[in-house]
């Protein structure tokens, strides 16, 4: 890899041993992927995927202490993924004991480190950092050093920024050194599509299902999606962006997609059209029957597959304000239809703190709270990532949560029926 003078000096120790090690790590990372040079991180803010203080990750926090003691702070401030704990989210005594004493017993230590390292604000813990209310919105063409897969795929695809699917820690190192190795999705060539996906559904495909089907088919490749503009329109408005947020998170977790193009809708597809498609690209046709096949093949790994649901999580990735408002309206209407005052299953809607604050001003806030729905900015995956949750019957409309935990996936309509007491 060719380094410029400044980068070489960092590697040679001009800013001390710790910075030299950080630079060396980034260079080795780039070498592993055939990068020929380092390029400056140009996005205004970073974003870190590590938002949790896990007892088994002490070496990471020790490393961050070493960085802090060396006095080398990231060049950019950053937002962080959602936290793993929120007392508002229903949990038993034993869960609390496991969460606080055994698992996330380094949470305070880690959050203090993030404050010193430069988290933008104490409330900026959300994977949907690119929502207007949070404000970490990269611009087209900016180079980022992020790792959260749902945020990376959104930034690349919907905003046209450039970011690889980095790992935690490495992403912070990129923010500290102010440069990242240039390969993959940072290059024009790496942003070309290897797949053409033809969406031929007769009804609007569920975002999380369509993303899952595409992710499982193309894995880490870049898909160019035709036919979705029929359902989403040709304008990147709030509802298209919310759809693409959920769709992208499913492509990134059910597969390893870091960038997709939607014909006539996402910025590079609008600008470059079919010239984005690589010669010899494979074709995947998706119709309603294909989505049904994908859905029916999800394993249900609840201990008792017909158990009564104990908890429902909606909002992974975190909900936008419009989504939260729509869900609130739908739940209240569903409860009224079913003659109920309270939800039939303890339900948690997850969204950024700033979105929840905005929602609290709406006419839905009071009745929703009284229906028993909990609003939280927790990460449901972190909540479920423990042995106790394996025996819990948890429902979700998130395909990411289904993939990483024992939660059972339901479509939005199904989960709405269940939580409002319309389905048994
Ligand atoms: Fe966000 Fe946690 Fe889901 S980071 S995408 S809420 S797994």
Instruction: Retrieve residue 359's tokens.
Output: 């929602």
Q: Which atom of ligand 1 is nearest to the CA of 398?
A: 3
Which of 49, 81, 148 for a ligand 1 pocket mutation test, highest count of atoms within 8 Å of Cβ? 81
Which of 126, 149, 151, 316 for a ligand 1 pocket mutation test, highest count of atoms within 8 Å of Cβ? 316
What distance in angstroms lies between residue 385's CA and the mean position of ligand 1's atoms? Answer: 12
pLDDT of residue 172: 97
pLDDT digits (tens, 9 = 90+) for 183-193: 999 999 999 99
Residue 424's pLDDT band (boundaries 50, 70, 90)?
low
**How far is 400 from 251, CA to CA, in rounded Å?**
9
**Ligand 1, atom 7: closest residue by C-alpha:** 381
Residues of the chain with pLDDT > 70, as a percent, come to: 100
Residue 214 pLDDT greater than 70, yes or no = yes
pLDDT of residue 218: 98
What's the rounded mean pLDDT across residues 363-386? 96
Domains 5-186 and 311-419 equal at CATH topology level: yes
What's the rounded mean pLDDT across residues 331-357? 98
Residue 212 pLDDT greater than 70, yes or no = yes
Q: What SS3 class is residue 269?
A: helix
Question: Among residues 407, 382, 377, which one has the least CA distance to residue 395?
Answer: 407
Multiple choice CATH, 311-419, 3.30.70.270, 3.30.499.10, 3.40.50.150, 1.10.10.60: 3.30.499.10
What distance in angstroms lies between residue 247's CA and the mean position of ligand 1's atoms? Answer: 13
**How far is 407 from 315, CA to CA, in rounded Å?**
13
pLDDT digits (tens, 9 = 90+) for 133-177: 999 999 999 999 999 999 999 999 999 999 999 999 999 999 999
Which of 52, 79, 82 for a ligand 1 pocket mutation test, highest count of atoms within 8 Å of Cβ? 82
What's the rounded mean pLDDT across residues 386-392? 85
**How far is 345 from 395, CA to CA, in rounded Å?**
9
Task: Give the domain ranges of the chain.
Answer: 5-186, 190-296, 311-419
Please tell us whether the domain made up of 5-186 is placed in CATH 1.20.1050. Answer: no
Q: pTM to 2 decimals?
A: 0.97
What distance in angstroms lies between residue 152's CA and the mean position of ligand 1's atoms? Answer: 12
What's the rounded mean pLDDT across residues 3-32? 98
**How far is 379 from 84, CA to CA, in rounded Å?**
5
pLDDT of residue 21: 98
Do 261 and 222 form a contact (C-beta atoms < 8 A)?
A: yes
Residue 236 pLDDT greater than 80, yes or no = yes
**How far is 399 from 187, CA to CA, in rounded Å?**
29
> What is the rounded average pLDDT for all residues in the chain?
96
- Among the ranges 84-88, 118-122, 303-307, which has the highest mean pLDDT value? 118-122
What distance in angstroms lies between residue 316's CA and the mean position of ligand 1's atoms? Answer: 5
**How far is 185 from 160, CA to CA, in rounded Å?**
11
Summary count for the chain: helices (H), strands (E): 18, 13
What distance in angstroms lies between residue 49's CA and the mean position of ligand 1's atoms? Answer: 10
Residue 345 DSSP label: S
Instruction: Retrieve residue 299's tokens.
Output: 């394993």
| CA distances for 156 relative to 27, 159, 268, 281, angstroms | 23, 6, 10, 20
More confident residue, 339 or 94: 339
Ligand 1 interacting residues, C-beta cut-off 6 A: 81-82, 127, 150, 249, 316-318, 350, 379-381, 400
Do 257 and 165 form a contact (C-beta atoms < 8 A)?
A: no
Say how many C-beta atoms besides its own lie within 10 A of residue 357's C-beta: 14
pLDDT digits (tens, 9 = 90+) for 246-301: 999 999 999 999 999 999 999 999 999 999 999 999 999 999 999 999 999 999 99
**How far is 350 from 378, CA to CA, in rounded Å?**
6
**How far is 328 from 349, CA to CA, in rounded Å?**
9
Residue 423 pLDDT greater than 80, yes or no = no
**How far is 190 from 29, CA to CA, in rounded Å?**
17
């Amino acid at each position: 890899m060719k380094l410029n003078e400044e980068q070489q000096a960092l590697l040679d120790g001009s800013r001390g041993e710790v910075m030299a090690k950080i630079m060396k790590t980034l260079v080795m990372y780039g070498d592993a992927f055939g990068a020929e040079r380092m390029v400056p991180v140009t996005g205004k803010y970073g974003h870190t995927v590590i938002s949790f203080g896990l007892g088994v990750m002490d070496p990471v926090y020790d490393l961050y202490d070493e960085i802090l003691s060396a006095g080398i702070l990231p060049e950019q401030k950053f937002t962080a993924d959602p936290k793993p704990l929120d007392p508002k989210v229903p949990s038993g005594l034993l869960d609390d004991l496991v969460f606080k004493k055994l698992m996330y017993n380094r949470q305070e230590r880690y959050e203090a480190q993030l404050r010193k390292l430069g988290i933008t604000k104490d409330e900026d813990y959300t994977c949907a950092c690119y929502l207007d209310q949070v404000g970490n919105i990269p611009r087209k063409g900016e180079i980022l050093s992020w790792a959260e897969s749902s945020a990376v795929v959104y930034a690349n695809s919907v905003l046209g920024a450039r970011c690889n699917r980095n790992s935690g820690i490495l992403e912070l190192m990129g923010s500290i050194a102010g440069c990242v190795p240039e390969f993959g999705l940072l290059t024009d060539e790496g942003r070309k599509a290897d797949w053409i996906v033809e969406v031929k559904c007769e009804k609007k495909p569920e975002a999380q299902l369509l993303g899952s089907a595409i992710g499982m088919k193309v894995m880490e490749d870049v898909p160019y999606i035709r036919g979705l503009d029929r359902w989403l329109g040709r304008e990147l408005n709030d509802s298209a962006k919310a759809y693409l947020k959920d769709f992208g998170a499913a492509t990134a977790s059910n597969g390893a997609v870091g960038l997709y193009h939607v014909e006539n809708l996402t910025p590079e597809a609008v600008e470059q059209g079919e010239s984005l498609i690589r010669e010899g690209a494979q074709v995947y046709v998706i119709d309603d029957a294909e989505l049904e096949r994908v859905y029916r093949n999800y394993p249900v790994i609840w201990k008792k597959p017909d158990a009564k649901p104990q908890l429902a999580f909606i909002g992974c990735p975190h909900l936008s304000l419009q989504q939260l408002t729509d869900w609130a309206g739908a739940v209240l209407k569903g409860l009224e239809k079913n003659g109920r005052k309270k939800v039939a299953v303890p339900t948690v809607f997850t969204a950024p703190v700033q979105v929840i604050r905005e929602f609290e001003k709406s006419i839905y806030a009071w009745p929703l709270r009284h229906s028993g729905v909990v609003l939280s900015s927790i990460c449901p995956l972190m909540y479920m990532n423990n042995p106790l949750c394996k025996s819990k019957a948890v429902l979700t409309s998130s395909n990411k949560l289904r993939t990483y935990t024992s939660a059972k996936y339901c479509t939005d309509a199904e989960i709405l029926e269940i939580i409002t007491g319309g389905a048994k």
